[in-house]
Structure 1
Amino acid sequence: MNLLNRAMAFGAFLLFLSCNGQTAKQKAYEDHDKAIYSKDGWIRDPYIFLDEDGHYYLTGTTPAPKDPKEGEEPYNTGLDKSNEEIYGTPSIVGGKLRVWRSQDLMDWEYLGEPFTLDKGYWAKKFPKKFEESSPDKWKIWAPELYHVNGKWIYVHTTPGPVQGGANLVITADNEMSGPFNFPMGDDMKFKHDPSLFKDDDGTWYLLWGNTKIAPIKPGFQGLAAEPIRIDPSDRVIGHEGATVRKIGDKYVHFGTAWSTDEMRKGSYNLYYCTADKVTGPYGPRQFVGRFLGHGTPFQDKEGRWWCTAFYNGNVPPVSREGIQNRNLGETAQTINEQGTTIVPLEVKVLEDGEIYIRAKDPDYANPGPDEVQQFH
């Protein structure tokens, strides 16, 4: 076979794989029963928002565009200097909020970097700190985005150059890239992993820090009351990635923790508890899914629930074979490949009004042997 024929045959083989891969993804999406590898690329804390325009918007903790470390160290685990000392590599996280959109959760269009730290509130308030800091040290952690009354809203946290300098950013009408304003001002400082929730009466709430919650003044003009803690009745919800959804008549509070209750040991899991009011009191902590820590519970266009998942481990992804019965307590381990995975959720309103939530893919559905909490 000559080189041209070989090339044509190889191209046909790649097309075959691509088409069959897409068919498998489409079937998994239609059946809503298996995890789907939705998008490649280094990301943590992937956040998906379904807008009224029919697009899904994706953001998360990401590297700077074209950062060579993304290819050199695909399982970069570092987020700060302590991780660099432990793992020998600096953090790959960058200081730009990056956004993609899709109509089907399979094919993603890159929309660029609409917001960077040097355009934020703290850069305006403390310009000297930014002038004295190298941009490759700026980091945007766990951003979320919302489209509200024609304006885009971004929330995120960052370790510097201003310590604890979280932002709530509001854009001009339908313009993702600004101009920006920052009505929350200093009220956003020291708000780790901020998340927003809108109640049925139109009141917006800010959640942060696993978990404090406070109502926001109209127009996002600062906090309207002193924050209170919301915890499950039997333990803390976790240590990061808290968010709230309203399902049926219940408020569902999600949070993230390691299965062993020890940092970076075991699997990175998602849990929940429910209440009749957003401020609680909440019931006992329940289990959503293994390897779903800091995932986004969201609904697709058909109203079905999914949760984002991503790679978070101290070693490369482990095999799924026998994973349901494998103890992972020695170190942080996951079956998730680097990139954005979406995992189907079963969400039911029970006869007594309580909410049942559980991952449907068997490899995510149950606690592992390393899980310290006993669930009933």
Structure 2
Amino acid sequence: MQVYTNPIHAEYFADPFVWRHDHEYYAIGTGPGDAEGLTPHTTRATIFPLLRSHDMIHWTPAGHALIAPDEALGLNFWAPEIAHAGGLWYLYYSVGHGDKLHQLRVAVSDHPLGPYRDRAQLTNPKDVPFAIDPHPFQDDDGRWYLFHARDFLDTGSDAAGSIRAGTALVVSELETMTRLSKNMHVVLRSYCDWQLYAADRPMYGKIFDWHTLEGPSVIKEGGRYYCIYSGGSWQTDTYGVDYTASDHVLGPYSIEAGVEAPRILKTVPGKVIGPGHCSIAIAPDDSTRMIIYHAWDPEMRARRMCMDELYFEDGIPKSDGPTWTPTELPRERPHTKDYEARV
């Protein structure tokens, strides 16, 4: 066993996405300049910081991934993720102007560390004014899907309660790695009080109590699809990680009444603030799932990369995180029937 202590990377590194290739780990994330937005005409060749590691614990900088595209697309770059298909590497990301007119795009490289060159537009702001947080997912049959977040202005109600206006989760099939189907399926709308981003928020010429679901990451366990996502405001201590599940990749996904707080990761006052926007990777033991996420330090100086084990008990995804003290990798725990079956 090895021991890690969060954060596992000391520098600002938001929206971390970690993947393994040829026995080495790579991470890509949103850097401070990416998140806050470049200044017009800033001379900057590349976007999105990269890291590499042999053990998931010790990380070293590996440059930046994306060659900056036309600045007319926007100056804010958020939440990159990587997919490998047909011998090429695909970088999915959003670019836009602050919290408005964000579109999804894809860049391509022949190496996991890039450089990635912008290739195609996946969503058009004329049709979808705000689309962020793309997550490519390959099903067992080889088909690829792109989960992401976009805005909804309608409200309503169902068995779980009221459906709120705000940013929510959807999925569409990737017809090719650079072309997104226009057939969109809703994964989950906001229906919980803890998912509030801001009350009385001016949006689209109106005032809303705006709720947010974002940062989807999908895994398949026991024949079911689990969309693990973040909710609330990334700038507050209400931000955390929850999940929804389905028997089919396109849904319908479960809605559970009475969820009063995020169930996988949430703030620990005075220790870890606003853990969220996660990815999932297998540890070096080839069996333990790790959830990699960002979190604020108690003074909220920076969002930094952290990780903890993600495990299942009776079909429910759980984590003992967020942790902030030395933790074993993998961590010993009582073996439930489900856990024994997986390892």
CA 1:141/1:337 → structure 2, altered by over 3 Å: closer, same or farther?
Answer: closer
- Out of 79, 88, 96, which is 1:159 matched to? 96
In structure 2, the gaps of 5 or more residues are 39-44, 150-167, 196-211, 268-274, 325-343
- 1:359 alignment partner in structure 2: 319
- 2:61 alignment partner in structure 1: 110
- 1:9 alignment partner in structure 2: none
1:342 lines up with 2:311 in the alignment: no
CA 1:201/1:225 → structure 2, altered by over 3 Å: closer, same or farther?
Answer: farther
CA 1:95/1:113 → structure 2, altered by over 3 Å: closer, same or farther?
Answer: closer
- 1:140 alignment partner in structure 2: 77
User: Equivalents in 1 of 2:121, 2:15: separation in Å?
Assistant: 25
Identity %: 19
User: Equivalents in 2 of 1:243, 1:290: separation in Å?
Assistant: 17
CA 1:255/1:157 → structure 2, altered by over 3 Å: closer, same or farther?
Answer: same
* CA shift digits 1:300-336 (9 cap, x unpaired): 1322111123234xxx516xxxxxxxxxxxxxx7xx9
User: Equivalents in 2 of 1:265, 1:99: separation in Å?
Assistant: 26
| Structure-to-structure mapping, 1:221-236, within 5 angstroms | 221-231=178-188
- 1:251 alignment partner in structure 2: 225
Quick check: 2:16–2:305 contact (8 Å CA) kept in 1?
A: yes
User: Equivalents in 2 of 1:178, 1:59: separation in Å?
Assistant: 12
User: Equivalents in 1 of 2:266, 2:19: separation in Å?
Assistant: 22
Tell me the CA shift for residue 95 of structure 1.
Answer: 6.6
Tell me the CA shift for residue 148 of structure 1.
Answer: 2.5
User: What SS does the aligned partner of 2:227 have?
Assistant: strand
Quick check: 1:170–1:182 contact (8 Å CA) kept in 2?
A: no
User: Equivalents in 2 of 1:216, 1:268: separation in Å?
Assistant: 29
- 2:289 alignment partner in structure 1: 305
User: What SS does the aligned partner of 2:277 have?
Assistant: coil
- 2:135 alignment partner in structure 1: 195
User: What SS does the aligned partner of 1:140 have?
Assistant: strand
Quick check: 1:117–1:140 contact (8 Å CA) kept in 2?
A: no
| Structure-to-structure mapping, 1:1-376, within 5 angstroms | 27-28=2-3, 36-51=6-21, 53-64=22-33, 79=36, 96-118=47-69, 123=70, 129=72, 138-160=75-97, 163-172=101-110, 176-178=114-116, 181-182=119-120, 184=122, 186=124, 190-209=130-149, 210-217=168-175, 219-231=176-188, 238-258=212-232, 264-285=235-256, 287-291=263-267, 292-302=275-285, 303-312=287-296, 317=298, 338-348=303-313, 350=314, 355-361=315-321
For these two proteins, the number of residue pairs brought into alignment is 268
Quick check: 1:59–1:143 contact (8 Å CA) kept in 2?
A: yes
**In structure 2, what residue type is equivalent to 1:358?**
K
User: Equivalents in 1 of 2:186, 2:121: separation in Å?
Assistant: 24
Which structure: larger Rg? 1
User: Equivalents in 2 of 1:270, 1:28: separation in Å?
Assistant: 24
User: Equivalents in 1 of 2:63, 2:37: separation in Å?
Assistant: 25
CA 1:250/1:27 → structure 2, altered by over 3 Å: closer, same or farther?
Answer: same
* CA shift digits 1:158-198 (9 cap, x unpaired): 22399323211122366721455337485997431111111
Quick check: 2:82–2:136 contact (8 Å CA) kept in 1?
A: no
User: Equivalents in 2 of 1:309, 1:154: separation in Å?
Assistant: 19
In structure 1, the gaps of 5 or more residues are 1-25, 30-34, 66-77, 82-93, 131-136, 319-332, 365-376
